[in-house]
């Protein structure tokens, strides 16, 4: 086999050495010994050094050596006899014109008896008889001098592991090897060889270092040998011996901080000996960087990383082609990156190039042909052309695993022609209340029905009009129900509404013909409209709404879509009518007129959602109405006729898949495929995932990875119950089998199926490839530890006291009822086991019992979700510090025995991150003597026992100096804030939260609100913030949107964490995410090598993001600053660097770096307003800097973020912050 056949380089067979040092074939003998029969000598990574070097030389891009040309001896294989046999027999094979590489990664030692001899320590060397059982260097000398015919020899010795031998306490004393002695032997090896070179890892008395820091586990010396051969030491496209030795020497000295100094020697003829040409090596390096950037872009749903990946992959493909070493896989991955970016035309070009380069590589050809069909669909090519491409794929690759998917795509394309297009058009110009009458809807129905029939091919019989007196509430709901009943899964359905609508957060939305505008009677609620549209069976449902936006309805579709919404105006705007003019004499809705004009343009049937949005905005502008990004003055109030067109804002808005072909019944296979590649699960909403699953239920064969993606996304959203059946359906042999197994193990653990979790994890680890780096190994080990440990069960301590002993303490009437109701909902709905709920009521609720139970609960809260609830009487000490009163408190006049809140805080400490505490008591002192009001106020007089100091009573209590946070989240009644009032009511007659009961009970207002909310919420994916918002919405005045009372909530962590989800549960998901980030650890050193050669700002930006993904925020900040300040940075790169810098500064230290973070984020937005995520972080930073009060700038930033479709997720979180009626006062975000 020639070197050319190996893929090494173009060489010629020579009879003499010549000045170019060409050689015919490469041979290698590689030895690596970590494991010894004498275990105290064991090393950690010597075998990995040898194995990785062998893998490199086996790779066709680096040498392509087969087992004939390479002998590898690792650990137990590397006995003295086996090494001697290889030296005497294997080295007979190379010819004179060949090059031989000898590599030893093992111990080396001089003769312990002081003789002038050096040995290589083998696996079976006897520490008591080294001279007889190790391999002497003279054996290597003899092999190279006498056995080996080849004139070119390179010897690499990573052998000076002096620390491993010199410190052993054995009967025969072993001494550290002398580097000079070993160097002398190496210099004598093969004196007659004109092309000889050797490199040893360390000088005398130095340790040859090894650690996980280098490539996930290598000797420092061999790690840099491998990196140099990969291209780190290249010059003019070649790696020469002299350059390699210099590269290794410099980097070993640097990384060891001058504790290790390699020794080298070479003949003059060997210095310029070419070990490798690097055009293909450089192409391979760029391919690997592109591959890893593509993975990072998909993991974080980052289009700009996909762009960067695409650039690297294109470069790799072109560079490989220049070396006549085609790399079709680079073109294929380049095309996939472009497909992920929704650039079907560029993806198609890449797949065509890959197909041309594939040659006899049938796997690459199959990849290119299959993905080419998706690119054709994504590029909007005629379906006939797509069918031809599918037929070509199926005829050539019938046995390919994707053939079933191709057949499914073909079948669905053929059925498109047989599907029906249906429309329900609703327009109300005349109302029962004549003052509501409009002029445009009647004309709107006519022009829209005409364009549907004439331009989009709807049959007249399939277009139903519902107008005026027929469009009552019942008439509209009946028509929507008819559409749901009559439609089929392959149909395209259009539902249109033109008429009045309620704005803002009102639950009612569409105004029907018979709606009473004063009371809202007979109006259609947003929830009703949303449910009716979701019930329609179709391949594509499009809702066209020409009325004012309704925030409540928009929240519903954002959280749980299922159809495409095209809205006449954006939130905060009006939907206008035209008065008619010479061009269009009849009045119309501005939106509808613009829509019809767009649909009358060419290729309406191929119109995509994003194209429709852009063209609508432009048509509305042509009609004289300004979009939201216009520089026109703000909208004026008053009748529409009185507002000049130049300042009327109307911006059509689209919610749905931007790349969907609107009026086609064909499933968007390209979008489904994009989802199957996507790994940015944290940024998906539950509605998005459910919508995708619903769309694919009629598909018999979704893409590989699609089931895994759905299951993993459900797990990320806290829906392990939905994730499990999907992940169980992923075959272990599938490309995603290992990842699906890890996610399945975590899902089982979330559902308390610990044995299933362990079995799934074992199977996943056996299936997936071994971790490539220390980060991934560490993350996988941590995940294993968490799964083995399991997630502790939820626990609760519930205390309710109605009957106190001390006369001065008022007796509440509803405290025990509070505890009973909370216990019932925790057990019935939230998975608490009865035996894990401790209840102390009345006589049982002594001080000792409460504190003992609380200590036990706080200990359990280290791992498990726990809740402490107290319903009873509160009070303060003489200095105003709040506390709770046990049933046996205040029995002795000389003893202070109330339970201070600060005492509970100290017990819980920082080690109870899973504890939620509810204290429904009173702390407001009242001047009334009414016993009933005193009882309902649940507040006893201040306890002045043992404390004499008095305090000045004001209207409101200062809380800032008090330690009030008990565990993760603590909730107090508003009474904690109010110091003194004429009357204070903590409990009252309220509806029983228990289902099936109607009689009101005396209960605590706080406990009733929280318990009732627990009854309403879905336990599988409720968050703490959703619980608080749901609990206190009833305390909000519907007109002012302000709460009449405001509970005090102390939150030590994010309230968007799962409710009653333990930190251990969250830790499992975090560990899974860390495993998924494992490949990024391989990207960092590759980017650093690339930056050493080309210090481009985009490379620095990528490096910063990789560092951040691996939790090294300081290194990330340095890289972002370097990218920002680089003289060649474009404005776009500089803006993105500022965005990520500001984001990381905010997340690293929200207190110290806030001002700096705000400055960077503002600059980023000023340079590139398309960085929507920057608005989110700017809003958060401004919110924090304003001491958590929403100011105007924060609101503006959040609104910009929502207008940009919330690309990072967090939509509900931001809406809660912006809606004061549903916001809860907290001490942190």
| Residue 975 and residue 866 share a domain | yes
Reply yes or no on whether the pLDDT at 134 is more than 90: yes
- Look up the domain containing 941 and give its range: 795-1061
Q: Pick the residue with more confidence: 124 or 1065?
A: 124
Would residue 725 count as lying in a domain? yes
The answer to whether 517 and 436 have CB atoms below 8 angstroms apart is yes
Closest CA to 804 of 852, 851, 846: 846
Do the domain assignments include residue 1074?
no
Q: Are residues 319 and 375 in the same domain?
A: yes
Asked if residue 77 is part of any domain, the answer here is yes
pLDDT at 751 exceeding the cut of 90: no
Q: CATH number for the domain including 1158?
A: 1.25.40.10
The Cα 757–Cα 753 span in angstroms is 6
Across residues 412-440, what is the average pLDDT? 88
- Give the rounded percent of residues in the chain with a pLDDT score beyond 70: 79
Tell me how far apart the alpha carbons of residues 1101 and 1105 are, in angstroms, rounded to a whole number: 6
Residue 6 and residue 12: Cα distance in Å, rounded? 14
Do 344 and 379 touch, CB atoms closer than 8 A? yes
1090, part of any domain = no
Convert the pLDDT of each residue in 237-268 to its tens digit.
678 888 899 999 999 999 999 999 998 887 66
Which range of 275-289, 330-344, 743-757, 897-911 scores highest in mean pLDDT? It is: 330-344
Residue 769's SS3 state is coil
Q: Quote the CA–CA distance of 1077 and 1112 in Å, as a whole number.
A: 13
5 pLDDT higher than 60:
no
Does 634 lie in the same domain as 762? no
Work out whether strand 1048-1051 and strand 969-972 pair parallel, antiparallel, or are unpaired.
antiparallel
Report d(CA 1147, CA 1113) in Å as an integer: 9
What digits encode the pLDDT tens for the residues 94-120?
988 888 999 999 988 877 776 667 888
How far CA 1090 is from CA of 61, 750, 1106, 1114, 1222, in Å, comes to 19, 42, 14, 21, 50
Per the model's pLDDT, the better-predicted residue between 987 and 4 turns out to be: 987
Quick one: 693 and 829 in the same domain? no
Is 673 within a domain? Answer: no
In the sheet with 118-121, reading across from the earlier edge strand, the strands are: 107-110, 118-121, 135-136
Confidence grade of residue 933 (pLDDT, cut at 50, 70, 90): low
| Structure tokens belonging to residue 427 | 């327009």
Burial track 511-526 (b if 16+ CB lie within 10 A, e otherwise) = bbbbbeeeeeebbbbb
Q: Evaluate whether 881 touches 898 at the Cβ level (below 8 Å).
A: no
Looking at the whole model, is its pTM more than 0.85?
no
202 and 100 share a domain? yes
pLDDT score at 792? 73
Task: Indicate if 937 and 1020 belong to the same structural domain.
Answer: yes
Question: Is 1057 in the same domain as 1136?
Answer: no
For residue 1227, is it within any domain? Answer: no
Residues in Cβ contact with 513 at an 8 Å cutoff, skipping those fewer than 6 apart: 428, 430, 431, 432, 468, 469, 470, 471, 472, 475
The residue with greater pLDDT, 729 or 4, is 729
State whether 45 and 174 are in the same domain. Answer: yes
Same domain (yes/no): 683, 822 = no
Same domain, 922 and 1019: yes
The pLDDT, as a whole number, for residue 9 is 26
**Res 508 pLDDT > 50:** yes
DSSP state of 276: E
Residues 860 and 773 in one domain: no
- Say how far apart CA 930 and CA 379 lie, in whole Å: 78
Q: pLDDT tens for residues 260-300?
A: 999 888 766 667 777 766 655 578 889 999 999 999 999 98
The mean pLDDT value of the chain amounts to 81
Q: Which residue has the higher pLDDT, 946 or 305?
A: 305
Count up the domains in the chain and report the number. Answer: 6
Kindly report the backbone phi and psi dihedral angles of residue 797, in degrees, each rounded to the nearest multiple of 5, phi listed first. -125, 115
Highest mean pLDDT among 210-214, 414-418, 477-481: 477-481
pLDDT band at 932; cut points 50, 70, 90 = low
CATH number assigned to the domain comprising residue 496:
3.40.50.1460
The answer to whether residue 92 is domain-embedded is yes
| 81 confidence band (pLDDT: 50, 70, 90) | very high
Give the residue from 726, 754, 789 where a domain finishes: 789
Domain end call among 416, 443, 465: 416
Distance of alpha carbon 349 from alpha carbon 338, whole angstroms: 10
Do the domain assignments include residue 439?
yes
H or E stretch covering 263 = strand 263-266
Of 664 and 216, more confident: 216
Query: Looking at residues 1102-1129, what average pLDDT do you find?
Result: 93
pLDDT tens per residue, range 559-573: 777 889 999 998 888
Pair 35, 53 in one domain:
yes
pLDDT at 1155: 85
Cα 531 to Cα 272: distance, rounded to the nearest angstrom: 76
């Amino acid at each position: 086999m020639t070197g050319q056949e190996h893929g090494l380089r173009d060489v010629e067979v020579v009879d003499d050495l010549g000045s170019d040092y060409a050689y015919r074939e490469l041979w290698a003998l590689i030895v690596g010994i970590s494991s010894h029969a004498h275990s105290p000598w064991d090393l950690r990574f010597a075998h990995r050094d040898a194995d990785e070097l062998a893998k490199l030389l086996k790779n066709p891009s680096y040498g392509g050596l087969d087992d004939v040309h390479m002998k590898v001896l690792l650990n137990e294989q590397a006995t003295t006899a086996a090494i001697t046999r290889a030296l005497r027999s294997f080295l007979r094979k190379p010819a004179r014109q060949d090059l031989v590489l000898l590599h030893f990664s093992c111990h080396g030692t001089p003769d312990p008896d002081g003789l002038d001899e050096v040995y290589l320590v083998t696996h079976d060397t006897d520490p008591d008889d080294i001279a007889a059982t190790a391999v002497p260097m003279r054996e290597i000398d003899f092999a190279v001098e006498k056995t080996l015919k080849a004139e070119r020899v390179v010897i690499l010795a990573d052998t000076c592991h002096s620390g491993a031998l010199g410190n052993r306490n054995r009967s025969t004393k072993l001494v550290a090897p002398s580097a000079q002695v070993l160097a002398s032997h190496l210099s004598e090896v093969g004196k007659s060889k004109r092309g000889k070179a050797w490199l040893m890892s360390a000088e005398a008395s130095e340790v040859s270092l090894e650690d996980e820091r280098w490539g996930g586990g290598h000797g420092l010396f061999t790690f840099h040998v491998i990196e140099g051969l990969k291209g780190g030491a290249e010059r003019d496209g070649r790696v020469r011996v002299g350059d390699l030795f210099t590269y290794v020497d410099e980097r070993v000295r640097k990384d060891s901080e001058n504790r290790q100094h390699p020794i080298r020697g070479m003949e003059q003829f060997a210095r310029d000996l070419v070990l490798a040409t690097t055009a293909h090596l450089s192409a391979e390096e760029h391919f690997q960087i592109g591959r890893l950037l593509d993975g990072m872009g998909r993991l974080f749903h980052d289009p700009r990383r996909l762009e960067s990946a695409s650039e690297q992959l294109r470069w790799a493909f072109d560079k490989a082609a220049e070396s006549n070493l085609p790399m079709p896989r680079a073109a294929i991955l380049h095309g996939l990156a472009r497909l992920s970016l929704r650039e079907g035309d560029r993806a198609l070009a890449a797949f065509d190039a890959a197909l041309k380069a594939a040659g006899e590589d049938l796997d690459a050809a199959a990849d290119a042909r299959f993905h080419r069909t998706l690119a054709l669909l994504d590029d909007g090519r005629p379906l006939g052309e797509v069918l031809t491409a599918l037929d070509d794929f199926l005829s050539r690759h019938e046995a390919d695993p994707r053939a079933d998917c191709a057949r499914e795509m073909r079948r669905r394309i053929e059925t498109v022609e047989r599907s029906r297009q249906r429309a329900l058009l609703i327009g109300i110009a005349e109302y029962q209340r004549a003052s509501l009458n409009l002029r445009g809807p009647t004309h709107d129905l006519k022009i829209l029905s005409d364009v549907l029939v004439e331009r989009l091919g709807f049959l007249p019989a399939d277009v139903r009009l519902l107008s005026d007196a027929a469009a009552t509430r019942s008439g509209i709901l009946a028509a929507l129900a008819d559409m749901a009943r009559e439609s089929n899964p392959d149909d395209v359905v259009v539902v249109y509404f033109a008429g009045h609508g309620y704005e803002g957060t009102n639950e009612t939305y569409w105004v029907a013909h018979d709606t009473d505008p004063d009371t809202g009677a007979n109006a259609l609620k947003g929830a009703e409209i949303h449910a009716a549209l979701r019930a329609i069976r179709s391949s594509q449902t499009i809702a066209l709404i020409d009325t004012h936006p309704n925030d409540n309805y928009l929240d519903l579709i954002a959280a749980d879509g299922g159809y495409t919404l095209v809205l006449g105006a954006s939130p905060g705007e009006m939907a206008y009518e035209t008065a008619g003019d010479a061009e269009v004499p009849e009045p119309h809705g501005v939106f509808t007129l613009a829509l019809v004009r767009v649909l009358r343009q060419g290729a309406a049937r191929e119109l995509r959602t994003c194209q429709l949005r852009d063209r609508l905005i432009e048509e509305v502008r042509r009609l004289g109405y300004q979009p939201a990004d216009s520089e026109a003055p703000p909208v004026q109030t008053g009748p529409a006729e009185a507002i000049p067109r130049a300042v009327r804002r109307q911006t059509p808005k689209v919610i749905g898949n931007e790349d969907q072909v609107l009026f086609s019944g064909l499933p968007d296979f390209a979008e489904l495929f994009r989802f199957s590649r996507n790994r940015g699960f944290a940024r998906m909403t539950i509605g998005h995932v459910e919508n995708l699953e619903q769309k694919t239920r009629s598909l018999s064969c979704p893409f590989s990875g699609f089931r895994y993606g759905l299951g993993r996304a459900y797990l990320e959203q806290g829906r392990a119950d939905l994730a499990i059946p999907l992940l169980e359906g992923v075959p272990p042999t599938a490309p995603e089998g290992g990842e699906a197994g890890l996610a399945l193990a975590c899902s089982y653990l979330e559902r308390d199926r610990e044995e299933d979790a362990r079995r799934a994890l074992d199977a996943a680890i056996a299936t997936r490839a071994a971790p490539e780096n220390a980060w991934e190994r560490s993350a996988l080990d941590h995940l294993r530890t968490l799964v083995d440990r399991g997630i502790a069960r939820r626990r609760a301590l519930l205390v309710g006291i109605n009957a106190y002993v001390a006369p001065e303490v008022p007796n509440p009437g509803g405290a025990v009822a509070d505890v009973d109701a909370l216990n019932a909902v925790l057990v019935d709905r939230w998975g608490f086991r009865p035996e894990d709920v401790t209840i102390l009521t009345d006589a049982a609720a002594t001080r000792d019992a409460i504190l003992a139970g609380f200590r036990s609960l706080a200990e359990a809260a280290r791992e498990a979700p726990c809740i402490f609830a107290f319903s009873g009487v509160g009070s303060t000490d003489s200095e105003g510090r709040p506390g709770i009163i046990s049933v046996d408190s205040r029995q002795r006049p000389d003893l202070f025995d109330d339970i201070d809140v600060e005492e509970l805080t100290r017990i819980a400490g920082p080690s109870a991150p899973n504890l939620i505490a509810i204290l429904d008591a009173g702390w407001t002192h009242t001047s009334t003597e009414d016993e009933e009001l005193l009882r309902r106020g649940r507040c006893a007089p201040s306890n002045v026992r043992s404390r004499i100091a008095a305090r000045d009573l004001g209207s409101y209590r200062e809380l800032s100096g008090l330690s009030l946070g008990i565990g993760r989240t603590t909730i107090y009644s508003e009474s904690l804030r109010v110091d003194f009032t004429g009357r204070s009511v903590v409990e009252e007659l309220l509806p029983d939260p228990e289902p099936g009961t109607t009689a009101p009970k005396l209960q605590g207002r706080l406990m009733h609100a929280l318990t009732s909310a627990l009854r309403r919420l879905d336990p599988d994916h409720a968050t703490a913030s959703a619980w608080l918002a749901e609990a206190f919405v009833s305390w909000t005045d519907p007109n002012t949107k302000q709460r009449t009372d405001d509970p005090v909530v102390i939150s030590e962590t994010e309230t968007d964490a799962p409710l009653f989800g333990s930190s251990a549960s969250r830790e499992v998901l975090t560990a899974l995410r860390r495993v998924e980030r494992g490949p990024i650890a391989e990207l960092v050193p590759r980017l650093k090598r690339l930056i050493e050669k080309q210090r481009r700002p985009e490379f620095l930006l990528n490096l910063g993001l990789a560092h951040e993904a691996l939790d090294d925020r300081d290194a990330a900040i340095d890289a972002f600053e370097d990218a920002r300040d680089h003289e060649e940075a474009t404005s776009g790169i500089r803006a993105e660097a500022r965005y990520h810098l500001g984001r990381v500064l905010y997340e690293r230290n929200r207190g110290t770096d806030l001002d700096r973070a705000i400055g960077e984020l503002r600059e980023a937005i000023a340079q590139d307003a398309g960085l929507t995520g920057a608005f989110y972080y700017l809003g958060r930073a401004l919110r924090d800097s304003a001491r958590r009060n929403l100011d105007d700038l924060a609101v503006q930033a959040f609104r910009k973020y929502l207008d940009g479709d919330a690309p990072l997720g967090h939509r509900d979180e931001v809406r809660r912050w912006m809606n004061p009626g549903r916001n809860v006062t907290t001490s942190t975000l």
